[in-house]
Amino acid sequence: MTHSSKLSPLEASRGSPLTGRVRVPGDKSISHRALILGALAVGETRIQGLLESEDVLNTAKAMRALGAQVLRDGDGTWSVQGVGVAGFAQPEAPLDFGNSGTGCRLVMGAVAGCPITATFDGDASLRSRPMRRIVDPLALMGAKVTAQSEGGRLPLTLQGARDPLPIEYRSPVASAQIKSAVLLAGLAAPGITTVIEPAASRDHTELMLRHFGAEIVSVPDGADGRKISLTGQPELHGAPVAVPADPSSAAFPIVAALIVPESDVTFDDVMTNPLRTGLFTTLREMGASIEETHARGDTGEPMAQLRVRASKLRGVEVPAARAPSMIDEYLVLAVAAAFAEGTTTMRGLHELRVKESDRLEATAAMLRVNGVKVGIEGDDMIVEGRGHVPGGGVVATHMDHRIAMSALVMGCASDRPVRVDDTTFIATSFPDFIPMMQRLGAVFA
């Protein structure tokens, strides 16, 4: 998506309690992977509950450009007819991933194992994000970057390997995007491709690869790390995928329900994969009432119903080791921390600097402009909670959906309204966010 100069500002004000029962849209990570693995499999993959957001729709377009057939049925089911491992066709035009680091980086991995050349591009936010962390390991496997922008950024042209090599790659960062890119390239390599990560990142790629018929083994490595080994050149078979509700999207109305007095909201089918639930653990430590029932895992990923009631929160210390399991949730956690009594210290947040925006700076700015005291010390963020937030600020969203949603959540309970300069990017992950929040009782104007 190009960022038009037309901004859509919005203001959130304090209103009555939030109440109701909702299912937030499908998980973004799983939606990208279902399309990509469906495209690399032989036969049909039917996907229920795919997240129909701009990020995911860009991945769907890329899969079509690479030769897969991707269709949406009238009932909202998506079907993908894949081309088989290493079967991608050369795309005729650059692949535009809009705002999506995940779509772009995972597809880079898949392309790296095919004898084709593709150009990757995105919006101004994605063009500013680091890509060497992805293309460096892919180069070890035989892929070549034939054109790139300064600092190894997009637009970038990648020539896939004719005969990809299996590697053992020790990733310097606990990143599911790096791990997934190497594993997707490894599908086309003979022998075992191994990724060692310093701490466990989300394992949706591993789970879904297994579901599609690949042989993949994951074992602990050191105190927090994992070693993941994939046997190359499997025959992947199209398989049904039911996408659970996205815990990273649910995070916004969940925090809103906690901070707006007397709220009581129930969330259906929220994915509860332990590598994604660091926010829920932290909120519970802060005193949040989050009741989990109806746990099930029949569709490959665990999920549950969550009942969230307004709660008095207290400041806590969030250990760095928890970061991979809540990497996208620190923005909205910082909002919860501002409404808590006492100090919340969040440690080890360096990866926040390379997300859709520099989220460490943008989160601190969002809080400060609304009268909250916040400090950044190295990689740590310290929020001084006072039990209430003065509000009254205008928040700069920096093309970042999660900044926009976090600021609007803050405005639901702050003393004075909170305004965001632009809500356009919410459509990248949670197109229904504004009407869904309004249905629960939020006052947005």
Catalytic residues: 328
Tell me whether residue 176 or residue 409 sits nearer to ligand S3P (CB atom).
176
What residues between 144 and 203 interact with ligand S3P by CB under 6 A?
175-177, 180, 201-202
Q: Are 304 and 294 in contact (CB under 8 A)?
A: yes
Tell me: does residue 221 bind ligand S3P (CB under 6 A).
Answer: no
Tell me whether residue 197 or residue 442 sits nearer to ligand S3P (CB atom).
197
Tell me: does residue 327 bind ligand S3P (CB under 6 A).
Answer: yes
**Burial track 38-76 (b if 16+ CB lie within 10 A, e otherwise):** bbbbbebbbbebbbbbbbbbbbbbbbbbbbbebeeeeee
Beta bridge partners of 444: 12
Rounded to a whole number of angstroms, the minimum distance from the CB of residue 201 to ligand S3P is 5
What residues between 26 and 55 interact with ligand S3P by CB under 6 A?
29
Taking residues 72 to 111 in sequence order and writing x for each that binds ligand S3P by CB under 6 A, - otherwise, the string is: ------------------------------x---------
Rounded to a whole number of angstroms, the minimum distance from the CB of residue 310 to ligand S3P is 28
Q: Are 245 and 269 in contact (CB under 8 A)?
A: yes
Query: How many CA within 13 A on the CB side of residue 276?
Result: 23
Taking residues 403 to 442 in sequence order and writing x for each that binds ligand S3P by CB under 6 A, - otherwise, the string is: ----------------------------------------
What are all long-range contacts of 371-379, with beta carbons under 8 Å and residues at least 24 apart?
372/338, 374/334, 374/338, 379/320, 379/347, 379/348, 379/349, 379/350
Rounded to a whole number of angstroms, the minimum distance from the CB of residue 353 to ligand S3P is 11
Q: What is the DSSP code (8-state) at residue 105?
A: H
3-state secondary structure of 246: coil
- The size of the interface with ligand S3P (CB under 6 A), counted in residues, is 11
Which residue's beta carbon is nearest to the bound ligand S3P? 29
Rounded to a whole number of angstroms, the minimum distance from the CB of residue 312 to ligand S3P is 30
Token look-up 């009594």 returns 341
- What is the dihedral sign for C-alpha 123, 125, 126, 131? positive
- Nearest Cα to Cα of residue 54 among 64, 62, 46: 62
Tell me: does residue 11 bind ligand S3P (CB under 6 A).
Answer: no
Rounded to a whole number of angstroms, the minimum distance from the CB of residue 18 to ligand S3P is 25
Tell me whether residue 133 or residue 419 sits nearer to ligand S3P (CB atom).
133
Rounded to a whole number of angstroms, the minimum distance from the CB of residue 327 to ligand S3P is 5
Token look-up 């999920």 returns 303
Among 224, 341, 351, 384, binds ligand S3P (CB under 6 A): 351
433 backbone dihedrals φ, ψ, rounded to 5°:
-55, -50
Name the residues that contact ligand S3P, by CB under 6 A.
29, 102, 175-177, 180, 201-202, 327-328, 351
